């Protein structure tokens, strides 16, 4: 039976997954890599680390799955990161990531030059610090010598595909998040590039996610263990791959994802940008489908920061018991009452995108008192992230987006407590599915479609993804969370000016 490999180039590490035509996992492997923060608000990674992790995980998977059985390989990847290559295909500098906030001045420059209405017509989105085009402008203005060497712009997964195939290419779903792409017409925006005095020669050919975009070279085969000539399918953004892997490939469905970032994702039959630009409008990996997406920057990332910075005893206890530290923290959180007796957490540790679009926003514990202990702190993070997710869902409801079913994935979907909190805060039933491999599974389905095993992503998802559980909101909890959510929504507007002052002080 043929095997299909999906490789996810995430923020914290790479995951390689092999599946068969039924969607069953044949083998998987993960490898971590570092994230660098050379200045406050900056976030960078080395593309060489992504390639190293890809080679390492492929070698592990191919120790179980014979290379001759691999029918195709595809990719998922963190969005918006800027990989700058020179004319020889060499990386010029470390990649600026999706959560990097240094480009606020360049975003202002874009909006000052174009205005929001014209920018929305060109790209369907607004200028946010995490997007790719402000990073190119930053390079041009702050590192002109490096900009002079720039020949090709790639996104993270596209760089790894380039190393595997020797071909430069991008695809619709990831390109849609660069703020250089005409989302409505699914092509690069020559008008935007000209308006911002950027050379569109740096932009590679763009494919649909299930198109073949090259084949494994002899050099890459030797390094990875894949067979030379193995087809490589374009792949998708991590969000569209995550949606595909949970079957959210058609209008009427929605996905709530709690990874490092938090995402609310709903497909639409037509491009439907938010006039107020609180949420995004991008191309889905399914052809002729788009989606609305709200993205909060520090969802699971908030919980990870809390674990690493403040929970050394719990981490030590988990190590001694041989369990995940999050199990200990979530068990503690269960001991705190709903609402944490007035303790609220704003999860803006690296600024925020949806719905505020504010790189200066920062994390806050509000209402802390002598009454509060570790359990309250733990639960407040789970609740604060859930409130942040609801912000995006409320925008979709306001825009009239029809949502018949919500599916959950990521860390929040694995925890029964966090699933219940999300269902209660969002006020909707939360479904989980039989797949838990994340975006790598969606990428593997794209490889399967690209190899001809299925006619479409909808057919592939329908054959492999099934709903297995449903968490109903508890009416009394919904009512109580409604009150806390009202207070949560008051906090950011009251602190917005103070966040800006604090950021200025931090810059020195």
Residue 262 in domain: no
- 20 and 116 in a single domain? The answer is yes
The whole-angstrom separation of Cα 410 and Cα 425 is: 17
pLDDT at residue 489 greater than cutoff 90: yes
Residue 79 in domain: yes
Residue 123 in domain: yes
Structure confidence at residue 410 as a pLDDT band (50, 70, 90)? confident
What are the pLDDT digits (tens) for 415-446?
999 999 999 999 999 999 998 888 999 999 99
What's the confidence (pLDDT) of residue 84? 98
Q: How many domains does the chain have?
A: 2
pLDDT at residue 331 greater than cutoff 90: yes
Mean pLDDT score, 50-72: 98
Cα–Cα separations (whole angstroms), residue 342 to 345, 366, 369, 377: 10, 8, 9, 11
The whole-angstrom separation of Cα 270 and Cα 106 is: 30
Looking at every residue in the chain, the average pLDDT score rounds to 96
For residue 53, give both structure tokens: 């992790």
- 497 and 356 in a single domain? The answer is yes
- 450 and 484 in a single domain? The answer is no
What are the pLDDT digits (tens) for 155-184?
999 999 999 999 999 999 999 999 999 999
pLDDT at residue 97 greater than cutoff 80: yes
Half-sphere exposure of 377 (CA within 13 A, CB side): 16
- 355 and 318 in a single domain? The answer is yes
Structure confidence at residue 27 as a pLDDT band (50, 70, 90)? very high
What's the confidence (pLDDT) of residue 206? 97
The whole-angstrom separation of Cα 186 and Cα 276 is: 22
The whole-angstrom separation of Cα 197 and Cα 295 is: 29
- 74 and 206 in a single domain? The answer is yes
Q: In CATH, what number is assigned to the domain containing residue 324?
A: 3.30.420.40
- 449 and 386 in a single domain? The answer is no
What are the pLDDT digits (tens) for 270-321?
999 999 999 999 999 999 999 999 999 899 999 999 999 999 999 999 999 9
What's the confidence (pLDDT) of residue 167? 97
What's the confidence (pLDDT) of residue 240? 95
Residue 222 in domain: yes
pLDDT at residue 114 greater than cutoff 90: yes
Mean pLDDT score, 98-115: 94
- Percent of the chain scoring above 70 in pLDDT: 100
- 237 and 337 in a single domain? The answer is no
Structure confidence at residue 450 as a pLDDT band (50, 70, 90)? very high
Residue 412 in domain: yes
pTM, entire model: 0.87
3-state secondary structure of 487: helix
- 320 and 441 in a single domain? The answer is no
What's the confidence (pLDDT) of residue 462? 95
199 belongs to the catalytic site: no
Domain that holds residue 341: 300-432+474-507
What's the confidence (pLDDT) of residue 411? 82
Residue 277 in domain: no
**Residue 105 contacts by C-beta under 8 Å, 6 or more apart in sequence?**
none
Give the active site residue among 238, 358, 391, 424: 238
Residue 288 in domain: no
* Residue bearing the bigger pLDDT, 410 or 177: 177
- 317 and 341 in a single domain? The answer is yes
What are the pLDDT digits (tens) for 212-262?
999 999 999 999 999 999 999 999 999 899 999 999 999 999 999 998 889
- 375 and 407 in a single domain? The answer is yes
pLDDT at residue 508 greater than cutoff 80: no
What are the pLDDT digits (tens) for 344-355?
999 999 899 899
Q: What phi and psi, each to the nearest 5 degrees, are found at residue 151?
A: -120, -40
Structure confidence at residue 383 as a pLDDT band (50, 70, 90)? very high
- 356 and 440 in a single domain? The answer is no
Residue 196 in domain: yes
What's the confidence (pLDDT) of residue 278? 95
Count other C-beta atoms under 10 Å from residue 191's C-beta. 14
- 15 and 41 in a single domain? The answer is yes
Report how far apart the first and last C-alpha atoms of the chain are (Å, whole number): 61
């Amino acid at each position: 039976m043929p095997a299909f490999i999906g490789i996810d180039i995430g923020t914290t590490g790479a995951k390689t997954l092999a599946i068969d035509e039924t969607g069953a996992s044949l083998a998987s492997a993960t490898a971590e890599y570092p994230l660098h923060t050379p200045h406050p608000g900056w976030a960078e990674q080395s593309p060489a680390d992504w390639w190293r992790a890809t080679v390492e995980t492929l070698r592990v998977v191919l120790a179980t799955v014979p290379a001759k059985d691999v029918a195709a390989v595809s990719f998922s990847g963190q969005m918006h990161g800027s990989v700058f290559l020179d004319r020889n295909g060499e990386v010029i500098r470390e990649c600026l990531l999706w959560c990097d906030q240094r480009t606020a001045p360049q975003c202002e420059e874009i909006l000052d030059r174009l205005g929001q209405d014209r920018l929305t017509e060109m790209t369907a989105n607004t200028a946010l610090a995490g997007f790719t085009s402000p990073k190119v402008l930053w390079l041009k203005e702050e590192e002109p010598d490096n900009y002079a060497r720039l020949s090709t712009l790639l996104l993270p997964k596209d760089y790894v595909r380039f190393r595997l195939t020797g071909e430069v290419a991008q695809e619709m779903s990831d390109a849609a998040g660069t703020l250089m792409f005409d989302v409505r017409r699914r092509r690069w925006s020559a008008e935007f590039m000209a308006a911002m005095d950027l050379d569109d020669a740096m932009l590679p050919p763009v494919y649909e996610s299930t198109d073949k975009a090259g084949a494994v070279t002899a050099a890459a085969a030797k390094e990875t263990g894949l067979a030379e000539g193995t087809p490589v399918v374009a792949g998708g953004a991590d969000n569209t791959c995550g949606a595909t892997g949970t079957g959210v490939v058609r209008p009427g469905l929605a996905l709530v994802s709690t990874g490092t970032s938090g995402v609310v994702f709903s497909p639409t039959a037509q491009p439907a940008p938010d006039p107020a630009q609180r949420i995004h409008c991008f191309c889905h990996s399914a052809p002729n489908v788009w989606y609305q997406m709200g993205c909060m920057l520090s969802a699971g990332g908030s919980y990870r920061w809390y674990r690493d910075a403040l929970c050394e005893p719990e981490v030590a206890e988990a190590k001694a018991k041989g369990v995940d530290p999050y199990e200990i923290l979530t068990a503690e959180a269960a001991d705190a009452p709903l609402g944490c007796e007035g303790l609220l957490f704003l999860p803006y540790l690296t600024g925020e995108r949806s719905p505020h679009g504010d790189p200066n926003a920062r994390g806050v514990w509000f209402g802390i008192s002598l009454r509060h202990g570790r359990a309250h702190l733990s639960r407040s993070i789970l609740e604060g992230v859930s409130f942040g997710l609801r912000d995006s869902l409320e925008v979709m409801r306001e825009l009239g987006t029809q949502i018949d079913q919500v599916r959950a994935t990521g860390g929040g979907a694995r925890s029964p407590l966090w699933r219940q909190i999300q269902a209660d805060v969002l006020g909707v039933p939360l479904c989980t599915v039989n797949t838990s491999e994340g975006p790598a599974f969606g990428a593997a389905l794209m490889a399967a479609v690209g190899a001809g095993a299925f006619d479409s992503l909808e057919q592939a998802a329908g054959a492999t993804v099934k709903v297995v559980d449903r968490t109903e909101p508890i009416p009394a909890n919904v009512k109580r969370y409604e009150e806390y959510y009202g207070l949560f929504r008051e906090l950011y507007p009251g602190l917005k000016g103070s966040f800006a002052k604090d950021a200025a002080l931090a810059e020195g």
